[in-house]
Amino acid sequence: MGAICNVVNTLAGYSAYFCYLVVSYFFLRDIGRLYLVISFVFSPHILYTLVIK
């Protein structure tokens, strides 16, 4: 009985970890896209101020 409980706990841990990886992957991917958009919007402004100075 204990072995079955251990297997179930291990599987539950792996599935939770997998869910965490998937969620973090999508979250990071969206953050990366947002960062690209922000950098694309702000980089001309930053370059402009650097060139002016």
Residue 46: pLDDT above 80? no
Say whether pLDDT at 49 is over 80: no
pTM of the model: 0.46
DSSP H helical ranges for the chain = 2-52
Which pLDDT score is estimated for 1? 66
Question: How sure is the predictor about 6, in pLDDT bands with cuts at 50, 70 and 90?
Answer: confident
> Over the stretch 15-32, which tens digit does the pLDDT of each residue have?
888 888 888 888 888 887
Mean pLDDT of the chain: 81
CA distance 29 to 39: 15
Domain locations along the chain: 24-53
d(CA 2, CA 10): 12
